[in-house]
Structure 1
Amino acid sequence: EDRKVRFRCDYFPFVEPGVEMAIECLVCGGTGCRLCGNSGWIEVLGAGMTHPRVLERSGIDPREYTSFAFGMGIDRLPMLRYGIDDIRLLYGSDLRFLRQF
């Protein structure tokens, strides 16, 4: 099934500049629902160049070194695949829910 994907600038406190990748919500088709926070999009990846202050506080000279930070919301992929609208279900201990997978 075709889905829209977007890649755009975004803010994350530990990177400068930051970017995100989002996928059109599979539950609502982009119209807005509980899963996507009524935005129509699910963020699946955030990334950027590590902010120089983070490097400094880690004992790394930001004039000499740079780094790239990224995080993938891998837990969101099964939510999209199976239409799960509450991320807390993935981390709970309800065997009735978990045994479905």
Structure 2
Amino acid sequence: MHRLLLVLAVLALASCGGGGSRPTGEVGQACMSAGRSAATPRLCSCIDQVAGRTLSRAEQRETARYIRDPEKLQEMKLDDRPRAEEMWRTYDRFVNAARTACG
């Protein structure tokens, strides 16, 4: 399950293409520092812009943690508390928005 979530997130994020500058937001910086081969400044900048439009500051911080540490994403996905379930829905909407806006 963990690998499936990671693969889905990377594929969604890798399909983005927008902007060309280095990202300055927390999500974009996490994208750049995550060490994934598909993480280019252009891709991470696009993801960062989508995060800025679709996520609150707190959600951006949490999403950046998930990008840096996919294990935390897996933990959140498996957590059945209402807050975790809501964050999963928020994260899923963000990934879909990033795919749409940047693809």
Pick the TM interval, shorter chain: under 0.3
With normalisation by structure 2, the TM-score equals 0.22
Greater strand proportion:
1
Q: Provide TM-score, normalisation by structure 1.
A: 0.23
**Which protein has greater RCO, CA pairs closer than 8 Å, 6+ apart?**
2
Structure with higher helix content: 2
